[in-house]
């Protein structure tokens, strides 16, 4: 082997191919990766299979990607207001 790396572009969606496959082939290019969001941290969380399946189903029924649904949940439960309320209540004890 020569060690040469060959990259392939992403597979076309059915709509792209249905419109005009020849045009798609002529215009295809390797898409640029999305930029990394600033100030983001990756969290890894292990959950039971049943819970993961329910999260996925509920997000699909809501018409949202699972990650977006979970981010909204975390924003609600760990908002600045919740932190402020808990801090204030801890100070009164």
> What digits encode the pLDDT tens for the residues 14-44?
666 556 666 666 666 656 566 667 788 888 9
Q: How far apart are the first and last CA of the chain?
A: 71
More confident residue, 3 or 75: 75
Does residue 48 belong to any structural domain of this protein?
Answer: no
Q: Region 73-79: what's the mean pLDDT?
A: 94
Does residue 76 belong to any structural domain of this protein?
Answer: yes
Give 64's DSSP letter: S
Q: With contact defined as beta carbons under 8 Å apart, do 16 and 24 qualify? A: yes
Average pLDDT, whole number, for the chain?
81
Q: Region 36-58: what's the mean pLDDT?
A: 89
Strands (E) in 1-93, as ranges, are: none
Does residue 35 belong to any structural domain of this protein?
Answer: no
Does residue 43 belong to any structural domain of this protein?
Answer: no
Task: Give me the domain span that covers residue 85.
Answer: 65-93
Q: Is 49 helix (H, G, I), strand (E, B) or coil?
A: helix
Measured in whole angstroms, the distance separating CA 14 from the mean position of its chain's CA atoms is: 22
Does residue 83 belong to any structural domain of this protein?
Answer: yes
Does residue 73 belong to any structural domain of this protein?
Answer: yes
């Amino acid at each position: 082997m020569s060690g040469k790396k060959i990259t392939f572009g992403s597979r076309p969606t059915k709509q792209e191919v249905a419109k005009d496959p020849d045009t798609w082939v002529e215009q295809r290019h390797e898409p640029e990766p999305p930029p990394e969001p600033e100030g983001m941290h990756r969290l890894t969380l292990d959950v039971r299979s049943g819970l993961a399946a329910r999260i996925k189903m509920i997000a699909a029924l809501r018409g949202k990607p699972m990650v977006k649904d979970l981010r909204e949940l975390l924003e609600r439960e760990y908002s600045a207001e919740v932190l402020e309320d808990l801090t204030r209540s801890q100070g009164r004890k």
